Amino acid sequence: MVEALAVQLTQREGELIQEKSEVKKLASFLKQASEEAKKLVDEERAFARAEIENARAAVQRVEEALQEHERISQVTGKQDLEQLMKEVQEARRIKMLHQPSKVMDMEHELLALRAQLSEKSRHYVRLQKELGRIKRGGENVAHLYELEGTEVLGSYLEIQPYSENAPGLSKCSIQWYRILSECAKRELISGATKSVYAPEPFDVGHVLQVDIVSGSQNITLSTTGPIDPAAGLGTYVEALVRKHDTEFNVVVTHMNDSHPSSESIHVLHVGKMRMKLCRGKATIAKEYYSSSMQLCGVRGGGNAAAQAVFWQAKEGLSFILAFETERDRNAALMLARRFAFDCNITLAGPNDRSRAADDRLPSWS
């Protein structure tokens, strides 16, 4: 039995090494494709600018010619007017000439590559878990539960019973932790006491753990590795940093721990000096970055947590905001923390201020 397990373990390790190699190759290809796409976008933009300048020059020539035509209208015949109309049509054609078809093709190709990379990552996590089960030999009590979900920013992790003997999660005490890689110390994630947790930008590069306490049993589950960053998110946020103010469409699901009367669309403004929440022309909250402000991902709430944040604008005024996409949610977190850090403010969640501000910078990779 031991020899069979050893042979099976060797085979699994070989498959794992091969999968790692394929993931690295795919990541390298994705990086090259991203660089080529960026180069193509720059070329298309330069081409578009040149075409637009030519169009503007043509329009200016047409306007000058029209003015000249008005001055000598008695001399100019119908043929000149037709020629001017042709120039106007040509100018319009030049303005409409630029079509981003090549860029769209590259974007679709990048989306397909990211989907393949995500699938490879999920398969890699499954192999890691299976390899861990073989090594444990089924004797560890932690085998009662498993962590399900993609270990990447923008996804969510969920505790799932693996055995029929596992106690119901509603009867268990749950607490999530972040492992600080620099000192291997566990940092308690305040408020993360549900069976579901959606990683936020602070979790990127760190292993996550969760303690499940049921009676005398204390079970600890860990992610197979550090949380990976979301593909392309860093570049997207860097582009937003150059803007003075960025708007995100959100829905207010809670305000001061109570449900609002209606879940209408609001606009969250993330600026260089302050954050503002508006509904139409009415301002719900507008606060400058300060030590009393808190901002973090929602720590619970099912799969919707990957798109929601907790924002305490000031003491006595807090919101839970649901974004349209996971990308918008994480971009808003990273952008607000970047601007707040420039104002010597560390934006974090409740009871998350134990670490130095230098360690609280978001991951841009």
Q: If you average pLDDT over residues 44-63, what whole number do you get?
A: 88
Q: Residue 204: what pLDDT?
A: 92
Q: If you average pLDDT over residues 14-43, what whole number do you get?
A: 85
Residue 354 confidence (pLDDT) above 50: no
Of residues 146 and 87, the one with the higher pLDDT is 146
Contact (Cβ atoms closer than 8 angstroms) between residue 317 and residue 303:
no
Residue 37 confidence (pLDDT) above 80: yes
Model pLDDT for residues 154-195, shown as the tens digit of each residue: 889 998 887 777 888 888 999 999 998 767 788 999 889 999
Closest listed residue to residue 134, CA positions, set 143, 122, 125? 143
Residue 72, φ and ψ in degrees, nearest 5: -120, 35
pTM of the model: 0.62
Q: Residue 31: what pLDDT?
A: 85
Judged on CB neighbours under 10 Å (0-12, 13-18, 19+), 192 is buried
Residue 137 confidence (pLDDT) above 80: no
pLDDT band at 276 (very low <50, low <70, confident <90, very high): very high
Within 13 Å, how many C-alpha atoms sit on residue 325's CB side? 5
What percent of the chain shows pLDDT beyond 70?
A: 79
* Tokens matching residue 208: 């996550």
Domain 233-360 in CATH 2.30.29.140? The answer is yes
Residue 363 confidence (pLDDT) above 50: no
124 backbone φψ class: left, alpha, beta (φ>0; ψ -120 to 50): alpha
pLDDT band at 142 (very low <50, low <70, confident <90, very high): very low
Q: What is the mean pLDDT of the chain?
A: 82
Residue 237 confidence (pLDDT) above 70: yes
Q: If you average pLDDT over residues 319-344, what whole number do you get?
A: 94
Q: Which of 40-44, 102-106, 115-119, 298-302 has the lowest mean pLDDT?
A: 102-106
Q: Which residues contact 134 (CB under 8 A, 6 or more apart)?
A: 5, 8, 9, 12
Q: Which amino acid is at 336?
A: A
Residue 98 confidence (pLDDT) above 50: yes
